[in-house]
Each structure stands twice: as structure tokens, then as C-alpha cells.
């Protein structure tokens, strides 16, 4: 699996991010800029689309809202009072917000309640390491990692100690049946359906 190109020469902020060309996609994690490289492949987009449809239908009439990338989520550290100072700007494949006060005109400021990341060859390691650590530290309540190549889903739930617990693993071959959300009571999705998305 490859790693995205990074800008390591200095600490970048949302102010820098807003000045970069519109045809480039970047994320900032701890002030390090990660190039999101090529657009995701068709299967990746089909899986994201399926999740978004299922979540959107489920959330109809409920107080939470789902958003699909590209959608800027600012995750400020202590002392980053102004948006242009923020050194963490991510574009989750799918983010659900139940605290609608976090939504802004251009995206969101603050941790989503649920994040779904669908792995791509160019972002695989970042999603498993840097984004995992960032989401855990910033207070994401539930993090789903979907691997189209290996055909598995890991679901992590934030525990009382403020850390993600052990992963709940689902794959259509060995773990039959749907995987359910902890924070969105009543929402579940079947891996067998996810991995047949085209």
C-alpha cells in the first residue's frame, strides 16, 4: 500500500489550505499536509454511495445529518480559536453529526459522531494510523474502517476512557450478518451487501 505525498517543510493551517488550488485535494493532520492524490476508484465510490444512501434514509426525520466527501471537517486543538489557525482539516468519506451546532457554512468544526472511511491504496496507511489517532483524540464516538480489497469492516467505539475499544470485525465470509452502529440505535448494514456494490 502506498502513502500519500506529504508537505513536511513547516506546520500548515486552514488558512494555507484555503489558498491551495481548487483542483488539488489535501488534508491536514497535526499541521502536516497530505495530498489525497488521484480520485478514488469506482468501487470505492460505490461503497461510499451505498453507505450514504442507507444512512441518509435511516436519518430521515432524525436529528442527525450525514455528509459525504468532499466536506471539510475542522478538528481544532486547544488554543486554535480561529478557523484559520486550525491544523487538522480532514475529509472523511462519510461523517454523521448529531450536534448540528458543529455545522458551518462551509463544512463542520468539531468531531463527527460517526465517521466511515473506505480504504484506498493511496490513503490506506493514513486512515489506519494518523486518522485513527486523530479521530480518537478529537472525540469521534464511532469509527468504521471499510477495506474493499480485503472485504472487511472494523468498527471502533469510543469508550468511557476516551479511547476506541477493540475493533468489531465483520466480513462476509467468516462473520455473517449485519454490523450495527452503537450510537445510531437501529442502524445496521450487511457486509455482503457492501462488498457487492458496483
Average pLDDT of 106-129?
A: 91
pTM of the full structure: 0.91
CATH code for the domain defined by 38-194:
3.90.1570.10
Residue written as grid cell 483542483? 23
Residue 102 has pLDDT above 50, yes or no: yes
Average pLDDT of 76-89?
A: 93
How large a percentage of the chain has pLDDT more than 90?
Answer: 64
Phi-psi region of 118 (alpha: psi -120 to 50; beta: other; left: phi over 0): beta
- Higher-scoring residue by pLDDT: 5, 159: 159
Q: What does residue 175 show for φ and ψ, rounded to 5 degrees?
A: -120, 85
The reported pLDDT for the residue numbered 127 is 85
23-78: per-residue pLDDT in tens?
Answer: 888 999 999 998 876 667 889 999 999 999 999 999 999 999 999 999 999 999 99
Sheet holding 152-157, edge to edge: 65-68, 94-97, 114-118, 142-147, 152-157, 168-170
The reported pLDDT for the residue numbered 120 is 86
The reported pLDDT for the residue numbered 168 is 85
Average pLDDT of 152-179?
A: 85
pLDDT band for 147, please (50, 70, 90 cuts): very high
Amino acid at each position: 500500500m502506498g502513502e500519500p505525498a506529504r508537505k513536511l517543510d513547516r506546520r500548515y493551517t486552514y488558512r494555507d489550505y484555503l489558498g491551495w488550488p481548487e483542483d488539488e485535494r489535501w488534508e491536514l493532520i497535526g499541521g502536516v499536509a497530505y495530498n489525497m492524490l488521484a480520485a478514488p476508484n469506482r468501487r470505492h465510490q460505490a461503497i461510499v454511495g451505498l453507505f450514504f444512501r442507507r444512512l441518509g434514509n435511516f436519518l430521515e426525520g432524525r436529528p442527525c445529518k450525514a455528509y459525504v466527501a468532499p466536506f471539510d471537517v475542522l478538528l481544532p486543538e486547544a488554543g486554535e480559536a480561529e478557523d484559520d489557525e486550525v491544523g487538522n482539516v480532514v475529509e472523511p468519506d462519510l461523517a454523521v453529526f448529531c450536534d448540528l451546532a458543529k455545522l458551518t457554512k462551509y463544512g463542520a468544526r468539531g468531531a463527527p459522531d460517526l465517521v466511515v472511511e473506505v480504504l484506498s491504496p493511496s490513503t490506506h496507511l493514513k486512515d489506519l494510523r494518523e486518522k485513527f489517532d486523530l479521530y480518537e483524540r478529537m472525540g469521534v464516538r464511532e469509527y468504521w474502517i471499510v477495506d474493499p480489497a480485503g472485504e472487511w469492516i472494523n468498527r471502533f467505539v469510543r469508550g468511557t476512557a476516551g479511547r476506541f475499544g477493540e475493533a468489531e470485525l465483520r466480513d462476509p465470509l467468516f462473520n455473517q450478518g449485519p454490523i450495527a452502529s452503537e450510537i445510531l440505535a437501529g442502524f445496521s448494514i450487511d457486509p455482503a451487501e457492501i462488498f457487492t456494490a458496483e
